[in-house]
Structure 1
Amino acid sequence: MLVQRQMSVVDDELDNFRKVLNSYIDATSAHSDNLHVSVQKLPGKSCYIMYEFWQDRISWMSYLQTNSSKDFQRCIIDMMEDAEMVSTMLLPASWWIMTNN
């Protein structure tokens, strides 16, 4: 499953946001059900797009209940210009098999 998260950050909070984001990426990447985390900053904007690849929806939903995930959400809430946008996409099982062999 692919999770895309788009976060528009208040300019004054960019440095703090980057620190919190790096901590979240480290914690999430260490989680056994997460395959990969990638972050892109849109040029000329204080907008970040994070892609998280999970084994399945259950793994992702379970991770949302962890302290790492909850801490990240609490920390960034005051740093955001707008509400975070989250979208998900289920990927075919054959993709999972091909990338893990």
Structure 2
Amino acid sequence: MAVKFKLEAAPTFKAKADIPVHGGEAVPVEFEFKHRTRDEMAKWLETSAGRSDVDSLLDVLVGWELSDSFGKESIERLVQNYCGAAPAIVARYVEELIQARRGN
């Protein structure tokens, strides 16, 4: 059954981000992201300077497909062990919201 377009966006959406793994290929991991309106996104981007990687991810994520539980400690472990993870996840988040806007 076809999904109908709605003016109200869902509060969350899922997308895969390719997490760089040292010595190997990037691994696609599915994340659940928070939706933001155009104005909310602009404000979030304006206030992003100086925000830690962990805080940035807590601002955009609500869950993930990993077997590890989702939470601040796990996000801290992720960014400590995979330096490219936070930029990859945030870039995917912004890309998804921009793509969504292109379609509207």
**Higher-RCO chain (CA-CA 8 Å, sequence separation at least 6):** 1
- TM-score by structure 1 length? 0.32
- TM-score by structure 2 length? 0.31
Higher strand share: 1
